[in-house]
Chain A
């Protein structure tokens, strides 16, 4: 039961260009969406979030877009930097049979210098 899907296991981008990571969800009860970044041997770190009442949230180089009708969200990183190379997890929260946060499988981003 994959309620949150990240269909691209990996993405490679040149330094300075835009990185776009995508995420789809199936359950309309989700009302809060988050992106986490994970480096090897470390736990995930919260990056940015968006409430379902918004369609865009921006924080420095990171912008998250939410398209509720398509049940799709994306994370834009611009400009991409080599230090952004990590695994990015999309997550969705809401009351679906009790409150829970469901994570996607992650997308590994490679930013080439």
Chain B
């Protein structure tokens, strides 16, 4: 069974640009989560998508947005990039919550560097 895959592995941008990060969940998983891990910090919850809809978002500005496609893959878009957006962005997937309390399975992340 293929795990969660994220692309690209590394992304270098400059301030003010826009970044798009992609995630493919484990087959059969309908929920996709995005987290930001800045240097020295834990995982900060960004967004949760399920069945194509945004279900919840963390305490991040609106320039962080995303979507989930019919095949359950997901994109995270970050507009007007700032230096402090430099971080590891992790995507996770899980079975839908109708099956209750499912652990999330993570990809290896996209390292976003803002110059």
Contact = CB atoms under 8 A, between A and B. Distances in A.
Interface in A64-113: 89, 91, 93, 98-106
Contact of B45 (A42, A102, A105, A106): A102
B101 A106 contact: no
A93 B97 CA distance: 11
Contacts of A101: 33, 45, 104
Interface residues of B, number: 24
B70 to A, nearest CB: 22
B105 interface: yes
Interface residues of A, number: 26
A43 B41 CA distance: 14
Contact of A41 (B35, B42, B90, B108): B108
B61 interface: no
Interface string B98-110: 0001011111110
B20 interface: no
B90 A44 contact: yes
A105 B56 contact: no
A48 to B, nearest CB: 9
Contacts of A105: 41-42
Nearest to A2: B42
Given A43-B90, A100-B56, A101-B104, 10 more contacts: A32-B101, A36-B106, A42-B108, A43-B109, A49-B101, A91-B43, A99-B97, A101-B45, A103-B44, A104-B42
8 contacts: A1-B59, A49-B101, A89-B42, A93-B101, A98-B56, A100-B45, A100-B48, A103-B43
Interface of B: 4, 33, 35, 41-45, 48, 55-56, 58-59, 90, 92, 97, 101, 103-109
Interface of A: 1, 6, 31-32, 34, 36, 41-46, 49, 51, 89, 91, 93, 98-106
